[in-house]
Structure 1
Amino acid sequence: MKTFDYKALPHFEQTYILQCGTFHFYKDFIISHINEGEYITWDSAQELIDIAIGHYGKKINISLISNRYNTYEIKYDDWRKFYKEGFQLKALAIVTYNKSGLINFMSEKKMFRHKIRNFYSLENAIKWVTSLK
């Protein structure tokens, strides 16, 4: 993966570094980088959700770009809790760099209720989420 200057993108607002990873907040989307070997559950995602509500307000209408250059696991059943709590995402863009990342994307596609796409470059994922109305 090549180096990327997150602060140079238009509408950059803030970077949050959590135990599970680093999250770059923009006006209409978040780029996530989960740390190697993490296991993401509802409890571990709750800290990010609380920060996002504090940053964007309770009516969050953003997209998430998951930049997956590390290997980690997600408890897919917890997506149901995300929706049950009333949270919504405009779209989910997943950037994969290998075959296992693509396989994970196929599993997530079944869980996600809204727009979801796989990309092989962060730049293309950003273009897609910024083009959504």
Structure 2
Amino acid sequence: MKIKLNDTKYSKEIKKTHELKIGTFFFFEKFIVAEINEGENVNWGNCQELIKLAIDFYPNEIKVNYISNRINEYSVSPADWLKFLKNVNRIKNYYIVCSSKSSFTNLIFEKLFFKKRIYQTNSLQTAIAKCLEQEKNQFTNP
């Protein structure tokens, strides 16, 4: 079931919200939740503003967790996906929340290029809980 971040208990913990042309991005202390707009084509050019905002919000080369809450159908430019991964090495963990057939197709494609593990779930709450648990375990398990 597709649930927007603002309809969850986690909406109270948002530190900053950015509504860009390609979608809405919610910045938390340890992660970003992205909700891309219907029909968008995500590419290197339209991600530049998001990248700058993230670098400003998470200073000092801090790596951040990224949760893609796929509530809408959109596409990703394959060549630009490679460019993004080559030039932006600040993603610690990547979580994808998807339930539609096309979202699963995109997930398979992304797994070809993203060398770290991609965590997939059909629940935004589960993705956030796993992200927070991993962050907690990172500091309690040396």
TM-score (norm 1): 0.90
- Could you tell me which runs of 5 or more consecutive residues in structure 2 were left unpaired when the two chains were aligned: none
Shift of 1:114: 1.4
Q: Which residue of 2 aligns with 1:92?
A: 94
- Could you tell me which runs of 5 or more consecutive residues in structure 1 were left unpaired when the two chains were aligned: none
Higher relative contact order (CA 8 A, sep 6+): 2
For 1:126, the aligned partner's letter is I
For 1:8, the aligned partner's letter is K
Point out 4+ residue stretches in structure 1 off by more than 4 angstroms: none
Q: Which residue of 2 aligns with 1:42?
A: 44
Q: 1:2 to 1:33 in 2, by over 3 A?
A: closer
For 2:124, the aligned partner's letter is L
Shift of 1:51: 0.5
For 1:68, the aligned partner's letter is R
Task: Give the Cα–Cα distance (whole angstroms) in 1 for the partners of residues 54 and 124 of structure 2.
Answer: 21
Shift of 1:7: 2.7
Task: Give the Cα–Cα distance (whole angstroms) in 2 for the partners of residues 86 and 63 of structure 1.
Answer: 13
Which residue among 1, 4, 12 is the counterpart of 1:8? 12
Shift of 1:58: 4.7
Q: 1:106 to 1:86 in 2, by over 3 A?
A: closer
RMSD: 1.6
* 1:38-74 deviation per Cα after TM superposition (whole angstroms, max 9, x unaligned): 0010011111000001111251311110000100000
Q: Which residue of 2 aligns with 1:61?
A: 63
- Aligned-residue identity in percent: 37
- On the 8 A contact 2:85/2:114 being kept in 1, the answer is no
For 1:124, the aligned partner's letter is T
TM-score (norm 2): 0.84
Aligned residues: 131
